[in-house]
Amino acid sequence: MERLRSSPLHANISTALDKHLESIHAVQARRKDEIVNASGRQRHGPPRCQDERVVLALAAALRALCLATRKVRTVLWCAFQMSLPK
C-alpha cells in the first residue's frame, strides 16, 4: 500500500500490526502452556489449581487477540481506502 501511495503510511498502522503479531505470539505461548499442563496432569493424577490459571491466561490472551484483530482489520481497511486513487 505504501508503494501505491508513494508515501509512508501512518505510524498507527504499523503499531496495530505489531500489537496483532504480539497477541498471536501470546496466544501461542499460552496454548503451549496449556498443552504442557494437560500432559503433566495425565501423568500425575488429579487436576491442580494451576489448571484454571492456565485456562484463564489462555482466555485472556484470546480476548486480546480478538481485540487486536478487530483493530488491525479496521486499520488495514483505512490504509486501503487511503491508497485508492482519487
For 31-77, the three-class secondary structure string (H helix, E strand, C coil) is: HHHHHHHHHHHHHHCCCCCHHHHHHHHHHHHHHHHHHHHHHHHHHHH
- 27 vs 61: CA distance, rounded Å: 5
Comparing 30-39, 42-51, 54-63, which segment has the lowest mean pLDDT?
Answer: 42-51
Assess whether pLDDT exceeds 70 at residue 41. Answer: no
pLDDT band, very low/low/confident/very high, at 8 (cuts 50, 70, 90): confident
Cβ neighbors of 58 (< 8 A, separation 6 or more) are 27, 30, 31, 33, 34
Residue 30 has pLDDT above 70, yes or no: yes
